[in-house]
Amino acid sequence: MSLMRDNNIITMPKSKTLDIISKEKMIMRLLLLCLLLIPASGCLDGETSEVVVKFENGAAIKADIAKSPEERARGLMFREGLEENTGMLLIFEEERHHAFWMKNVKFPLDIIWLDRDLKVVHISSNTPPCPAEPCVVYAPLKPAKYVLEVKANFTLKNNISIGDLFILHLPRDDGDLTLEANING
């Protein structure tokens, strides 16, 4: 495409201008179509991904999933509270000593760290909110791939302890994926 320059203004031949306008109209129509189809797909319905976490003793939690770094960083900050048997499951790419603090969390939590084999490796029970900085940092003694944040005293009420195993039912586009620990060892 050749451009003509007149007094520091770049102009295009008329035929090329019409081609660009036609392409812009086509792109706008496609964008409009996409915007109309998104609500039908369920992407903007305000629902977050959820998972059911079941422990080998029968206790269960319905948890929001936090997979992205932004979701994990926000965690349960700024929420007013949690209903019984609900929480948040933070999923990490790698097993590490993932540390947490309670800044901007308004209520106490139990924080449960789980390894890649779906075994509880550390618990911070009745972890208090941080009233002012510097905040206490809570970290597991062993590496973890998953962290489950639940209402305070859930682990006590449900007899959850280090070494317990759990089952995850993760939603996927092509159906649910069930990750299950080998409970028989």
Summarize pLDDT for 166-179 with one digit per residue, the tens.
887 666 554 444 45
The pLDDT value recorded for residue 49 is 81
Exposed e or buried b for every residue in 37-70, given b needs 16+ CB within 10 A?
A: eeeeeeeeeeeeeebbbbbbeebebebbbbeeee
Tens of pLDDT, residue by residue over 32-42, are: 333 333 333 33
- As a whole number of angstroms, the distance between CA 170 and CA 37 comes to 25
Tokens of 96: 């590490």
CB 166 within 8 A of CB 158: no
Closest CA to 139 of 104, 110, 100: 100
- As a whole number of angstroms, the distance between CA 61 and CA 89 comes to 10
Q: 43: pLDDT confidence band, cut at 50, 70 and 90? A: very low
Residue 184, pLDDT above cutoff 70: no
What angle (nearest 5°) sits at the alpha carbon of residue 84, between those of residues 83 and 89?
Answer: 80
The pLDDT value recorded for residue 112 is 96
**pTM for this prediction:** 0.67
